[in-house]
Amino acid sequence: MDGPIARRVPGRIRGWLERRSYLPGTEPVALDELVSPLRYDILVRADHFTFLDQHVGLAERDPDAYVRLALHHSYFTWYTTVALPRYRPREHADDQLRLAAFRRRVLDAVGLWRSFKAAGFDPRYPVTLRTATPGAATPTGKVVRRPFHAGDGCHRLALLVAAGAQTLAPAWYRVRSDPVSSLIDNTSVLIGSLGLGSAAYYAFLARGYGAPPSADRAAIVDHVRAHAPDRLAELEQVMAVDERQLEAAARRSARGPDSHTN
C-alpha cells in the first residue's frame, strides 16, 4: 500500500495490512526448482559467493581491490545486464554511477556473506516467494509451472546454494498472497550476456527437472519423459526459447571477442 491513502492509515494498522499480504512457509521448497530454468542469475550470485570465499583475505584487507577483481566475474555482467537496467536505469546509463552502484552491491554481498558464515541463515529476514496465476508466462514466452517462484531475497537463496543446501526451510521464507501474472526469465538474457555454452546450460537446466547434473540434452528429455511426463511440453518450450540464445552466443563466440560486449 502506498500513496495518499496509505499515509492517512495509522502505522499499526498499515503494518497489520502489510503483514496480511504474506503467508508463512509451510513446507521445505527445493532450491533447484527456484533456480532452474528461469533464474540463472541466482546461480551466478552463488558462484560469486564461492569466489568471495576463495578471495576472502583480499576482501577483508582491501575491499576496493576486491571490487576491482569482481569486475571480471560474471556477477558484474549479471548486475549491469539485468539488475541495474531493471531497477536503477539512471545509474545504469552513467559509467561512474554504474561502477559506484556495483561497488555498493559487492560490499553488501561481502557483509551478507560474513553474517552467513558467522551465524547461518537469519530467519529474521525471510526470502519472499511468489505464486503465479494459471498460464503465467515470461516475456520470452515460457510457461513454467511451479508451486513457488523466487521473489525478494535472491542473494540469500544464492548463499544457500553456494553452501550446498538442497531446500529452503519453512521458517526461512514467506509467500506473497497475491499471485504474479508474468514471470521473470533472467536465464535467456544471461545466456547471451555471459556467452553461456551448451554444456553449462544443460547442467543448469537439469537442476530444475531432476536430471543428473552430467545429463546432456537428450538425457534430460529422456529423464523427464520417464519420470515427469507432465513436464515434457514445458521442458521443450523452455529449450526452444533458450536454444536460440545458445546458437546466437555460439555464433558470436566463433566470430571472436570483439563481437560480444557486456
User: Per-residue confidence of the chain (262 residues) as pLDDT tens digits?
Assistant: 334 334 444 555 555 455 559 999 999 999 999 999 999 999 999 999 999 999 999 999 999 999 999 999 999 999 999 999 999 999 989 999 999 999 999 999 999 999 999 999 999 999 999 999 999 999 999 999 999 999 999 999 999 999 999 999 999 999 999 999 999 999 999 999 999 999 999 999 999 999 999 999 999 999 999 999 999 999 999 999 999 999 999 998 888 755 444 3
Q: Is residue 140 part of a domain?
A: no
Q: Is residue 166 part of a domain?
A: no
Distance of CA 68 to the CA centre of its chain: 23
Q: Is residue 111 part of a domain?
A: no
Residues spanned by the domain of 248: 186-259
Q: Is residue 19 part of a domain?
A: no
Number of structural domains (the chain) is 1
Nearest Cα neighbor of 170 from 121, 109, 118 is 121
What is the pTM (predicted TM-score) of this model? Answer: 0.89
Q: Is residue 163 part of a domain?
A: no
Q: Is residue 81 part of a domain?
A: no
Find residue 180's DSSP bridge partners: 132
Q: What is the CA radius of gyration of the chain?
A: 20
Nearest Cα neighbor of 171 from 211, 120, 210, 208 is 120
CA distance 252 to 201: 16
Q: Is residue 191 part of a domain?
A: yes
Q: Is residue 201 part of a domain?
A: yes
